[in-house]
Homo-oligomer: A and B are copies of this chain.
Amino acid sequence: MGIKIHGIPHSGATLRVLAAAEEKELDFELVPVDLKSGAHKQQPFLSLNPFGQIPAFEDGDNKLFESRAITQYIAHTYESKGTSLIHKGKQIIDVGIWMEVEAHQFDPAASKLLWELIYKSFFGIEIDNAVVEENETKLAKVLDVYEARLATSKYLGGDSFTLADLHHLPALHNLSGTKVKHLFDERPHVSAWCKDILARPAWEKVVALLKQA
């Protein structure tokens, strides 16, 4: 049976799941999905994710989709393996808050910037500078709050690396190659946090997969 991650490393959501799997030192098979032929919008993929999006995840009989549901499954199911990503007591509250912040404050602006600054050029579509500017301003405001948080807490969820940090890795990696990199660099605590979590050995393994892709 084993663990299968259906997706491709060029998908940020797939990278998020790969990061969790590498932190937990899991053996897994990365099963490529042929997006060009629309394999994700057809069976058998739709039986793994009825929304037709990558990644999808199989662990024996357990089938999951939605990247952040998968990372939480991995963290709980393989609690005793690799990096501890589950926390108790007070820290669980902060991890919960900052996972939601990633999803509802950081990701909307970051995703729009990634679409404009990376994926559009890949597809040969013209960049909309008004959208870039609007979301650069939004992301700057979000990162101001991160800067204050990270001035008093080494990681977003507390003293140790958690899923609240991990969920950011694909966007941090991809945005660091774009013109909005300065938003991270000019905030010292945000910059140190990015440098720290992007240098994690598990993430370096994920980046190696991305470079092979």
Q: Which residues of A contact B (CB under 8 A)?
A: 50-51, 62, 64-66, 68-69, 72-73, 76, 90, 92-93, 96-97, 99-101, 103-105, 142, 145, 148-149
A62-B93, A64-B93, A73-B93 given as contacts; is B100 within 8 A of A51 (CB)? no
Determine how many copies of this chain the complex contains. Answer: 2
When C-beta atoms are compared, the residue in chain B nearest to A142 turns out to be B51
A56 to chain B, nearest CB (A): 11
Instruction: Please tell me if the beta carbons of B62 and A100 are within 8 angstroms of each other in the complex.
Output: no
Instruction: Please tell me if the beta carbons of B145 and A64 are within 8 angstroms of each other in the complex.
Output: no
Instruction: Please tell me if the beta carbons of B99 and A50 are within 8 angstroms of each other in the complex.
Output: no
A135 to chain B, nearest CB (A): 15
Instruction: Please tell me if the beta carbons of B105 and A69 are within 8 angstroms of each other in the complex.
Output: no
Q: Which of chain B's residues have a CB closer than 8 A to the CB of A145?
A: 50-51
Q: Which of chain B's residues have a CB closer than 8 A to the CB of A73?
A: 93, 96
Q: Which of chain B's residues have a CB closer than 8 A to the CB of A68?
A: 100
When C-beta atoms are compared, the residue in chain B nearest to A148 turns out to be B50
A87 to chain B, nearest CB (A): 13
For the complex, what is the distance from the CA of A97 to the CA of B145, rounded to whole Å? 28
When C-beta atoms are compared, the residue in chain B nearest to A67 turns out to be B100
Instruction: Please tell me if the beta carbons of A101 and B66 are within 8 angstroms of each other in the complex.
Output: yes
A72 to chain B, nearest CB (A): 6
Instruction: Please tell me if the beta carbons of B105 and A103 are within 8 angstroms of each other in the complex.
Output: no
- Across the interface, A97 reaches (CB within 8 A) one of B66, B76, B97, B148, namely B66
A103-B104, A104-B103 given as contacts; is B50 within 8 A of A72 (CB)? no
A23 to chain B, nearest CB (A): 18
A138 to chain B, nearest CB (A): 11
A50-B148, A145-B50, A145-B51 given as contacts; is B96 within 8 A of A72 (CB)? yes
Q: Which of chain B's residues have a CB closer than 8 A to the CB of A148?
A: 50
Q: Which of chain B's residues have a CB closer than 8 A to the CB of A99?
A: 69
